[in-house]
Amino acid sequence: MTMRDIPPVVVGRLPLYLRTLCYAQQEGLTTISSHELGRRLSISAAQIRKDLSMFGEFGKQGTGYPVAALIRQLRRILHVDRVWDMALVGVGALGRALLAYQGFAKRGFRIALAFDNDPHKIGQRVGPFVVQDVARLERALQEADIRLGVIATPASAAQAIAERMVQAGVQGLLSYAPIHLQLPEHIQVEYIDPVIYLQRMTFYLGAVDQGAAAEALAEATPCGQD
């Protein structure tokens, strides 16, 4: 179990199961069926059973899965039965929101270091953090043994920052910069670009009353990214 030959699409669902199980636990459920878990996630019960069965036999016929035990198992499988320290680069509006976000600590993550290259920001306090000079990135990451990075820089800076973090030993990157990073294969990378998600939706939304559409037409929207 916890093999590395699990289909990536299955790995992608495990955190959703964990999150949903946590809510169920807070509601007082001690047991949950694949059907109920699937209902809460709009995923089929068969899929959930198949996914979980890749890691062991966690359920019991007739009653379903024990919530607390399954949470423990998933946290072990996902390696969030510990706290992961992260380094944040880019203390703009988004970076500050991430520094303030309480949801990381509650689910196994903690921003330990924050960097920027703006002399006005370096040394500044942001909540419990002091913004570090990005020039110190490599040294600070190695000293703190950081393995996860969060990129909240402009797109134009992201590739170079990513390479430096990888050089300093980072193995996973969560990038909010709207650009695809070129990195060694063994590096885990996940992207969050809200515009990508919005455009996936507008594909399906289609036709609009032409009053609103005319208001700001085709060439009014430049291609600019950054």
DSSP H or E run through 149:
strand 148-151
Place of tokens 């890691």: 55
Q: What angle do CA 174, 179, 183 make, to 5 degrees?
A: 65
What does 122 interact with, of DNA, its own copies, none (CB < 5 to 8 A by kind)? none
Q: Cα separation of 66 and 24, whole Å? A: 11
CB of 163 to DNA, least distance (A): 25
Instruction: Report CA-CA distances (Å) from 67 to 45, 61, 132, 185.
Output: 16, 14, 42, 35
In this structure, are residues 188 and 172 in contact, taking their beta carbons and an 8 Å threshold?
Answer: yes
The mark string for 9-48 relative to DNA (x by CB under 7 A, - otherwise) is xx---------------------xxxx-------xxxxx-
CB of 7 to DNA, least distance (A): 3
DSSP H or E run through 126:
strand 125-126
Total of chain residues touching DNA, rule CB under 7 A:
26
Q: Which pairing describes strands 132-133 and 129-130: parallel, antiparallel, or unpaired?
A: unpaired
What does 28 interact with, of its own copies, DNA, none (CB < 5 to 8 A by kind)? none
Place of tokens 């990073």: 181
Amino acid at the residue 62:
G
Residue 64 binds DNA (CB under 7 A): yes
* Nearest CB to its own copies, comparing residues 112 and 161: 112
Residue 61 binds DNA (CB under 7 A): yes
Residue 191 binds DNA (CB under 7 A): no
What does 153 interact with, of DNA, its own copies, none (CB < 5 to 8 A by kind)? none
Residue 110 binds DNA (CB under 7 A): no
Residue 131 binds DNA (CB under 7 A): no
Residue 58 binds DNA (CB under 7 A): yes
Amino acid at the residue 176:
Y
Q: Which residues pair with 116 in a beta bridge?
A: 133
What does 45 interact with, of DNA, its own copies, none (CB < 5 to 8 A by kind)? DNA
Residue 79 binds DNA (CB under 7 A): no
CB of 225 to DNA, least distance (A): 22
- Give CA 170 to chain center in angstroms: 15
Residues at the interface with DNA (CB under 7 A): 7-10, 32-35, 43-47, 49-50, 52-53, 57-65
